[in-house]
């Protein structure tokens, strides 16, 4: 019988790339940097909005936002650039939008799980700026710079990683593995099954 707990999920993992402890230390560092960078937002009377991109960023966001020491509001958007599987489609679709009428008073920090081609955050940040946000910056847990297809550099980054398909700590393959408490490399045979003759 198939079970859905992490013990059965872990058998599909080739190696642990980033441990829970490393994620804790990384979010300590990022939260300190972010808290410092946005001091002027509060001093100048604007609001800091921490905009979590569903679903992949939820675990990273929960670990990060509680360590940020300046006042901030939480918002959520759901966007996608990927269909099923591991290939990018090159466009973003908005499934859940940010509905605010005070964008000129907002410094928005977009919280993302991973930057790959760069298309999602390139287009999303462009859109939020066009709508009139005072500022739009990005923090990502992981970055795969070697995969970039558009010019995009995150403002804050947890770890740069090699070109491997990773899951866990929010990241999925076809909606599975998000609940793993670490980031691991998925065994290639899971997403590229061997052809049977």
Q: Which residues are catalytic?
A: 116
The residue (of 81 and 125) whose beta carbon lies closer to ligand IMP is 81
- Cα–Cα distance between 190 and 47 in angstroms, integer? 44
Contact flags string 59-98 toward ligand IMP, x per CB under 6 A: ----------------------xx-----x----------
Cα 11 to chain centroid, rounded: 24
The residue (of 27 and 119) whose beta carbon lies closer to ligand IMP is 119
Query: Which part of the chain contacts ligand IMP (CB under 6 A), choosing from 21-29, 59-67, 99-107, 166-174?
Result: 166-174
Closest CA to 169 of 62, 31, 81, 87: 62
Binding partner of 17, given ligand IMP, Mg ion, none, CB within 5-8 angstroms per partner class: none
Binding of residue 116 to ligand IMP (CB under 6 A): yes
- Cβ-based neighbours of 151, under 8 Å, separated by 6 or more: 118, 122
**In this structure, which long-range contacts are made by residues 57-62, counting pairs with CB atoms below 8 Å and at least 24 apart in sequence?**
57/111, 57/112, 57/113, 57/141, 57/170, 58/170, 59/169, 59/170, 59/178, 60/23, 60/27, 60/111, 60/113, 60/141, 60/158, 60/169, 60/170, 61/111
Name which position in 30, 56, 141, 161 contacts Mg ion (CB under 5 A).
Answer: 56
| Closest separation in Å from C-beta 43 to ligand IMP | 32
Binding of residue 13 to ligand IMP (CB under 6 A): no
Binding of residue 133 to ligand IMP (CB under 6 A): no
| Closest separation in Å from C-beta 56 to Mg ion | 3
Query: Which part of the chain contacts Mg ion (CB under 5 A), choosing from 49-57, 67-75, 122-130, 152-160?
Result: 49-57
User: How is the beta sheet containing 156-160 ordered, strand by strand?
Assistant: 88-96, 73-82, 47-54, 106-115, 135-143, 156-160
- The answer to whether 110 and 136 are in contact (CB under 8 A) is yes
The residue (of 61 and 120) whose beta carbon lies closer to ligand IMP is 120
List residues near ligand IMP by CB under 6 A.
Answer: 56, 81-82, 88, 112-120, 165-167, 171
List residues near Mg ion by CB under 5 A.
Answer: 56, 113
């Amino acid at each position: 019988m198939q079970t859905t707990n992490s013990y059965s999920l872990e058998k599909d993992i080739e190696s642990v790339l980033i441990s829970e402890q490393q994620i804790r230390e990384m979010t300590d560092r990022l939260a300190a940097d972010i808290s410092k960078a946005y001091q002027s937002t509060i001093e100048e009377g604007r609001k800091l909005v921490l905009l979590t991109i569903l679903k992949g960023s939820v675990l990273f966001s929960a670990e990060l936002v509680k360590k940020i020491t300046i006042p901030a509001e939480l918002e959520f958007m759901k966007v996608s650039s990927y269909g099923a599987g591991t290939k990018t489609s090159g466009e973003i679709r908005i499934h859940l939008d940010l509905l605010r009428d005070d964008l000129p008073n907002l410094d928005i920090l977009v919280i993302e799980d991973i930057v790959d081609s760069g298309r999602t955050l390139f287009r999303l940040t462009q859109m939020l700026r066009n709508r009139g946000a005072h500022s739009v910056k990005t923090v990502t847990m992981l970055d795969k710079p070697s995969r970039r297809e558009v010019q995009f550099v995150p403002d804050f980054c947890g770890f740069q990683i090699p070109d491997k398909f990773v899951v866990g700590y929010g990241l999925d393959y076809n909606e599975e593995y998000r609940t793993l408490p670490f980031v691991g490399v998925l065994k290639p045979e899971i997403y590229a099954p061997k052809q049977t003759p």
